[in-house]
Structure formats: C-alpha cells, structure tokens
Chains A and B, each alone.
Chain A
Amino acid sequence: MLYDRYKSELKLKKKRNKIFTIVIISLIVLVGIVWYLSTLNFEVLNPKGTIALQERNLIYLALLLSLVVVIPVFSLLIIFAYKYRENNPKKVDYKPDWDKNNLLEFSWWFFPAVLIAILGVITWNTSHSLNPFKPIDSKVQPIRVDVISLQWRWLFIYPAYKVATINYLPLPINTPIDFHLTSDAPMNSFWIPQLSGQIYSMPVMSTQLHIMATSDGNYRGLSANISGVGFANMSFVAAVKSSQAFQTTIKNISQSRQTLNYASFLKLAKPSLNSKVQYFSKVNPAIYDQLIMSYMTASHPAIINKNSSNTSIKSGMGM
C-alpha cells in the first residue's frame, strides 16, 4: 500500500518536473524570440514620415476592429467543440433537428454588416486622404523628384536642381516630396516602407506619390514588383537630411563630372546588374517627359526596331 502510494507520488512528481521543464524551456524560447524580434526594424510599423504613420495607424485600427469577429468565432468553436463532444460524461442537450433561428441568423448578417459599414467609411475616407496623387498640406514648397525604374536600378531626377542620381535618394526633412514615376523597364513598384506605401512605376504611364519625411536618417527603398533577373538588387537608400545638409548634398552632386541628356540616358537605361550609386550634373529635366512621349510616338529605340518593317511609321506622330 504504502509503496504504491510512494510510487504514485513519485510518478506525480516526475510529471510535475516534466511540466516544469517544458514551461522553463518555452519561457526561454519565448524570451529568445522576443529578444530577437526586438533587434529587428519593423519598417512598416516604424514610420518616419506622415503618410507611413497614418498607414500604420490604419493597419492597427483595422486589426483591432477585426478582433470583434475573431474572438467570438474562436470562443464559440472551442466551447461548442468541447461541450457537445460525443463522449462528454455530462448530459447535454441534443437537438438533431434544430436548424433554424431567425434572430440568430439575422444577427450574423447584421452585426458583421455594421462592422463592415464602419470599416467601409474608414476605407472610403482614407483612400481619399491617403491617395498617393494628393499633394500634402504644408507651407513648405514641395520638391519634385522624377523616378524612373530601369533594368535593374532606380534613376532619380531633381528637375529643379538639374541633378540626378542612381540608387540614392537624398530628401529634405519636413518638406513635401512630389514623386512622378515612370519606367523604362517592366513594371516595378517604388517603396520606401518607413516613409510611405508603394506605387507602381510603369512604362508609358506616369504615376505620382506624395510623401513627407519627419525624421532624418537613412531608410531602405526597394522595388516590390518582380521585373526580371536583377529585381532583388533594386534597393536604394532614401537619405532624409536637414534642409541645409540636403542643399549641400545637391551641391556636391552638381559637381559630378557625369552629365545626363536624353542620349546618354538611353545608354544608361540598358540592362545592368551594377547597382552602384552614381551622380549626374547638368541633367536635362525633360528626360522624364521625353521618355514617356517616346513610348507613345514610336520614337523609343525598342519600338523602332520592332516596327522597322513597317513603312507607314513616318506618317503622323499625332501626339
């Protein structure tokens, strides 16, 4: 008797020990995970610009509102599965023919609909207030930057300063930036997660993105849409600086010996895996429009080659 009791107590103790070990190990793993995650930069959730901040808040809000549905679903699933299990020793109701209840059915059309109505209003409002085409309210004069995605790098043209860069995007702090985007490559998506959401850059088309950075630092920019073999290399640095530092940077760039007109642009636009930063001075600000126009009027080299057999190409470039 006594021995048996001792044995069962030992067993219990062993079991306790086992549980204890499992708890300790999971705690260590958990702490490890939290520590590891805390070393990472959650770029989408760590905004450094006005637009990215609003978008981050929107994500949180939507997540919170969704929980209103998630929590009942999870709890009902667990409660029902536990309570109405076949081998439940307790006697519970069994109503095999109960298959209708208008009030209940109405309620799960109605309450989710209310929730969606709230989310819908938020959706409508934010898709207008955070519309990438919409200029940012600010007293500061915006700066225009023309963005051209190439195979496989980014060209940034500052028309006002007549300078351009490859894969380096200096930006002044607290100043609205007015990006105009096109592409001389397959579709790309221009994205600086800490400053704002992304927008496609497409050949022939011109899209727009307005952002404003609120703290200085170097932020990662990239292409989020596949555009060929070198697409993963298309990352760049968006360097947000005080307006003085920005002006100095622009000045330095304008000292560059490399210049850029449409002819040299076409050479630059050839596919390359070289993602090194480059500076250009004396840049012809019309390159951007000229590029788009070239796709619309058959003057782009790629198109001319394709249609070379076509005799009537010279007639009316009616743009």
Chain B
Amino acid sequence: MVFASVLLGKLSWQVFPKDIVTLGAFVSIVAGGILVAALLTYFKKWGYLWREWLTNTDHKKIGVMYVILSILMLIRGGVDALMMRAQQATAVGASHGVLSSSTFQQVFSAHGTIMIFFAAMGLMFGIINLVVPLQIGTRDVAFPFLNLTSFWLFAAGAILINLSLGIGSFSAAGWLAYPPLSELKYSPSVGIDYWIWTLEIAGIGSLMSGINFLTTIIKNRAPGMTLMKMPLFSWSVLCAMFLVIFAFPILTVTISLLFLDRTLGTHFFTAGGGGNMMMYVNLIWAWGHPEVYILILPAFGVFSEIVSTFSRKKLFGYRTMVWALAAITVLSFSVWVHHFFTMGAGADVNGFFGIMTMIIAIPTGVKIFNWLFTMYKGKIHFNSALYWFFGFVILFTIGGVAGVIMAIPAADFQLHNSLFLVAHFHTMIVSGVLFGYFAGFTYWFPKIFGYKLDEKLGIKTFYLWVIGFILAFFPLYILGFLGATRRINHYAANLGWQPLFIVAGIGAVIIAGGVAMGVWQQIVSYRRRQEYKDKTGDPWNGRTIEWSVPSPAPYYNFKAIPVIHDRDAFWVAKQNHQALVSDDDVVDIILPKRAPVSFILGMCALVFGFAMIWHIWWLVIVSLIAFVVILMVRLNDEKPYEVVTAEDILAHEKSLKTGNVV
C-alpha cells in the first residue's frame, strides 16, 4: 500500500468518472484522438505533421496550430455551455435537470476557464502569430524557439484540462476559484489542482509569448517603421503584451500561493490561521481585469485594420487611436475592485474604483467614434469581415451600457453575481473578442493559406452567431432584473423563469449552428480553393505591408526587408506605382531551425503538472529534471539556424507566381 501511494500518489481505480455525462465526454475525446491518429497513420502523414507543423518554428505555422487548437477548445467549451443551458432549462421545481449539482458546477467552471484561457487567449495568440511579423516587416519573432515552446506549454495546459474529464474531476469553484471554497477544507478533491496546474502551465506559456512579442515589436520592426508609422493592429498587440508582462506574473503568484495553501498547509487565503481570502480576490482580479483588456485590445486592432481597408480610406485619427490604446492600457490596472464592490470595501474605495471604471469608457468610446468616422466619406465594401465589425459595434455598445451601470457601486449591489452580469461580460467578450478574431481570421486567411474564404457562408455564419447571441443572452439581462443569480443548478417553479431559460437554450443551439457553419465554410472554401485563389497577394486592396508579399506568405516572409516611409506603406507604394522591394535586394539569409525540443518540453510540463496534481512526487522530480536538462542542452546549441540562399528565395518566389505551390 505504501509502495503504491509513493508510486501513484493519490491515483487509484476510484478516480475514473462515475457519471455517464463526463465519462461519455472523455470517451468521445479519446475516440476522436484515436481516429485522427489512425487517419494520420493511414495516409502516412506523421512525418509531414512532425516536420512541417509540430516542430516548425515558423510563426505562421505556430499561429495556425494556435487557431486550430483554440477552435477545438471553443467547441469543448461550447459543449459545456450547451449542457449548462440544458440544465437550467430543465431544472425547475421538482425536476433536477440533466446534471448533478457537482457535475454542473464542474461544467461551468470548465466552461469559463476553457473559454478565457484556451479559446480566447488561443485565438488571440494565433492571430498575433499569423500577422505581427508580417505586418512589421520581419522574418520571424524575436525568439522563435521560445515561441514554439510557448505554444506547447499552451497545448500541455489544454491537454491537462481535458484529462480532468477522465481522470479525477475538475474544479467546482467557478473559473476564478475564490477561497475559502477552493481551499482543501471545502474542496478536497483534485479538481482545484487541475485548475491550478492548467493555468500555471498555460499562463507561463502566455507570459513567455508576451515577452516574445513585446521584444519582437520593439526590436524587429522594418527599417524606417517608427512607432508612429506602425499599423494599429501591431500597436494594439504591443499594448496587450505590455499588459501580459505586468499582469501574468500576478496570476502565477496567486495560484501558486493557493497551491501552497492546499499542498503544504500555508495560510495565505485560508479561513483562520491568519490567512486573508480577500487578498486572493484582490490579487486574482489585479490580473483578471487587465486580462480582459489583453484579450480585447488586439481585437480592437483587427477592427482598425478592417474598417480602414474596406472603407478604402486612411484610418481616422491614428494619433488619438494610439493615445486611446495607451490610456486603456494604463487605466486597466486601476479598476480591478469593480469586480467585488459587494465585498464591503467601504464607500471611498468603491467610489474611487467606480469612477476609474467609468473613465476607461472614454478612450473606448473614442475608438468607436474614430472607426465610424473612418467609414465617413469612404467607399465601403461589405466584406464578411466587416459584418463582424457591425455586429461588434451594436452589441459592444449595449454591453458597454450594462457595464457603465454596474460601474456604479450602489447599482452593482443589485446586479452583481446576477445573470445580468453574466450577460454583460458575454456581450463584451463574444462581440468584442470573438467577433474581432473571427473578422481577423477571415481578413488574413488568404495571406496564410493562399485562398479566400467563402463569402456567403461567412455571412451566414455571422447571422447565426448574432441571432443566436441575442436569443441566448438578452433573456439573461431580463433574468438579472428578475433576481436570478449565476451558477444556480436549480430554481423554484413559481418564479416563472423557465421560458426565458428555454429561449436562452435555443439561442445557444443557434450559436452552435454558427460554429458548425464556420466549419462548413472552411470545408467548402478548401474544396473551391482554386476558384477562390488569391493570385495577387493583395485580395482586399490592402494598406499595410503584409499584403505586399505573395499569398500564401513564403516561409521567409519577405524576399527582402522593405524600408518604410509611410504609415500605410503598401497603399502609398501602390498609389505611386512602385514596388516596396525588388529582386535585386534579395540576399542570403538565415532562418531558425526546427525545434523538436519545444514539443518535448511541453510534454515534460504536462507530465510535471499531472504529477503535481496527483502528488506523485518522484515523477515531479523526474519531469522537472528532464525539463531543465533538455532546455540546457538546447540552449547550448549556439547557432540554431539554417541558411536560405538568395537563389532559394527567388526560386520560391517564382514558383509562387506560377502557382506550383499550394
């Protein structure tokens, strides 16, 4: 027995799920994995996958992997959402719905965690990876090996959180796991530990990406591209990465302390023992509020590019846009208390943070007006990417009004923790963040894959999302006024809430239809890729330099690095009938080598996290040592580069033109 507990920690036969829902979910994920593996084996694609994707340090490939993984996680989180809607639509009066209370709580905790950390963050880092180096005129990010390692840490976190379905259980304490509920006393199972280690691993990946992209944007811009000539998307990424750097260490510290409380018996947040649970709430939101802006700033950047391109007009008020971004970046660190006005901090503190919260609405409003006046006296081409922008403006403004109301502490007392709040932040994150990245993905898709997405299906996807969203979340605003709180697995029949929950459920199903339509759009567009081919590399009559390279963007990005003189450098060059670079500028270059080590490091982190969760201490030590040693061996490689000669580049450019490469 002692031997087994040393060998296996807390693992035993008891850890497998007993309820059919979780078991079914886990089995279907495993079956999906086996199916994919079988297909790869059948088509003999393992080598291709390994060489061209899993170990490739090319930022575009990494970006695609981020996007695919986060769409998968979006679907996983979406299934959670459907289960929640099913539960709340049925669990009324004597009926207890389809899920047990503890399963329901795990489902909403997983939903929140997955959607923020894996769907939204993943899409964000995906788009950033795809676009930023191309937009600022560099061949790759500052630290390509670190970039791939960040991705694999992100993937390790994603695998870990899905493992919780089949081995043990997930956190049932909400997506931010407030203590003392998340302390050992009230949550003795491994659920919270899964939550902690998922976020530790993925969070460190995000932090490393933050450092990487900040450095890339500061140090690797094309010659002549001063900060005030940088496209607004890159500006927004710069601001978001600044926030990552200052916010994510706080997350790491906070959940590490929670881990120590649970594992080593410290008293940071415990009830009694000299702990202070309110400190946790403060710390987690000192990360959590900037996190919201981390997600949304790049989406703002995407909208800036899209509105300007499809209005065929310079972006209005570039300078104020930059200032607004900077203002939001700074202010986002001074509003966190608005997440818990009801904790009783006192009138002065609440009043101060309420006012700060409202002030942050000003630069946000400035951005919206600037976008609107970019359209003014333009020639607006209604591309599906622009549809997402229209949906965003309408919904985001409505959500913003809800936000301003809740920024008043005394009004928040009546709305906090209600479904009004749930509706508010979903409005902000779905319309702001998701719509932004969907728009960005549609917009930059041809640059990465060489063909455009199907427009009609794109517009259908948009309508399904918007209609589904309105049906799913407007009833929640109403339910908030009815006094319905979030996270309830059951409510009394005489309250009469059920029809609203049913409508919300229908809305969720329609959103699921939107997701399916998006996938269908991919399939159809792929089939018609010859028809939708982007032959010029500039399908939208673009303005920024990523459109100056052929599509799909070659692995070296630019045959020669252009020198930048203007804000919309490519647009100006086109107006003057000039090319940014010529074949004479092409020289021999070096590019980073493939890095199988990144994948191995990610897997070490996965094993480490798993061992930590289950208290398998020998495995903790083994995986940690493996991680450190492998990292050192790699860092010892002084020249992890390979040569691409000018001949190679010119040959590749030629093949792209003649269309021999798909």
User: Which residues of A line the B interface, CB within 8 A?
Assistant: 36-37, 39-45, 52, 54-56, 58-59, 62-63, 66-67, 69-70, 73-74, 76-77, 80-81, 84-86, 92-101, 104-105, 108-109, 112-113, 116, 119-120, 122-124, 126-134, 185-187, 189, 191, 193-194, 196-200, 202-205, 207-208, 220, 222-233, 235, 294-296, 298, 300, 302-303, 306-307
Contact = CB atoms under 8 A, between A and B. Distances in A.
Contact of B313 (A98, A100, A127): A98
B23 to A, nearest CB: 20
Nearest to A72: B369
B362 A109 contact: yes
Given A81-B390, A96-B314, A55 B417 contact: no
A85 B390 contact: no
A128 B59 CA distance: 52
Contact of A52 (B316, B397, B414): B414
Contacts of B362: 109, 112-113, 116
B80 interface: no
Contacts of B490: 232-233
Nearest to B310: A86
Contacts of A194: 483
Interface in B149-176: 172-174
A226 B497 CA distance: 20
Interface string B381-402: 1100000001001100110110
A131 B346 contact: yes
Interface string B369-384: 1101111111111100
A54 B346 CA distance: 18
Contacts of B174: 226
Interface residues of B toward A: which range? 35 or more
15 contacts: A43-B481, A43-B483, A62-B405, A73-B368, A94-B312, A94-B378, A100-B317, A108-B365, A120-B354, A124-B351, A187-B178, A191-B485, A196-B413, A199-B343, A203-B277
A66 B313 contact: no
Nearest to A224: B417
A298 to B, nearest CB: 7
A84 B378 contact: yes
A44 B376 CA distance: 41
Interface in B280-331: 311-320
Contacts of A80: 372, 375-376, 380
B365 A186 contact: no
Given A200-B342, A224-B418, A44 B480 contact: yes
Contacts, number: 295
B181 interface: yes
Interface in B195-234: none
B129 interface: no
Contact of B482 (A44, A77, A99, A235): A44
Nearest to B101: A229
Contacts of B346: 131, 133
Contacts of A98: 313-314, 316, 377
Give the 8 A-B residue pairs with the shortest CB-CB distance, closest first.
A197-B413, A43-B483, A186-B181, A203-B271, A130-B410, A99-B314, A224-B417, A193-B483
Contact of B416 (A97, A100, A189): A189
Given A108-B369, A109-B362, A296-B272, A124 B355 contact: yes
Contacts of A127: 347, 350-351, 354, 408-410
Contacts of A95: 313, 377
B487 interface: yes
B394 A55 contact: no
Contacts of B368: 73
Contacts of A223: 485
B359 interface: yes
A199 B344 contact: yes
Interface string B482-501: 11011111111001110100
Contacts of A300: 272
B186 interface: yes
B366 A109 contact: yes
A129 B488 CA distance: 31
Given A77-B394, A116-B362, A84 B482 contact: no
B342 A186 contact: no
A239 B346 CA distance: 28
